[in-house]
């Protein structure tokens, strides 16, 4: 829901290494009403089967900056465990996750809708303003 005094935010995650949406990734939303203001944690959600967060909290009036925090370590750890179970002959050495979390900070304008997709792989990620 977007009004003249607030912006709205949505996101989804695509695991480009697997060619599918990233399911069950915890996403936290924070906001602040100015560059020098403190961050306010607003709450969060987890991605669904399509990799989308449909129920992120609404932004407070006066928000100028937003931060999305993605807990990708658990996602990749779970995926590595599943892969080891499916193909025990190809066990990984357990090197861990290179990016355990991803934090994306961006500026918003009241009345605008912001969709910020995260394209994710074990050793890199990219984001953009979607539609």
92-128 pLDDT, tens digit each: 445 578 999 999 999 999 999 999 999 999 899 999 9
B/e letters for 3-38, b = 16+ CB within 10 Å, e = fewer, are eeebbbbbbbbbbeeeeebbbebbbbbbbbeeeeee
Structural domain 8-127, CATH architecture: Sandwich (2.60)
On whether the CB atoms of residues 116 and 104 are closer than 8 A, the answer is: yes
Domain positions in the chain: 8-127
How far is 112 from 121, CA to CA, in rounded Å? 29
Residue range 39-88, pLDDT digits in tens:
999 999 999 999 999 899 999 999 999 999 999 999 998 887 676 654 44
């Amino acid at each position: 829901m977007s009004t003249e005094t607030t912006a709205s935010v949505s996101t989804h995650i695509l695991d480009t290494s697997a060619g599918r949406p990233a399911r069950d990734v915890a996403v936290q939303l924070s906001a602040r009403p100015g560059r020098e203001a403190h961050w306010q944690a607003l709450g969060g959600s987890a991605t669904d089967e399509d990799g989308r967060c449909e129920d992120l909290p609404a932004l407070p009036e006066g928000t100028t900056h937003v931060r999305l925090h993605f807990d990708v370590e658990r996602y990749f750890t779970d995926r590595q465990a599943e892969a080891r179970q499916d193909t025990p002959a190809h066990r990984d050495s357990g090197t861990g996750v290179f990016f355990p979390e991803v934090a994306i900070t961006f500026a918003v304008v009241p009345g605008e809708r912001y969709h910020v997709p995260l394209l994710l792989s074990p050793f890199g990620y990219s984001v953009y303003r979607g539609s």
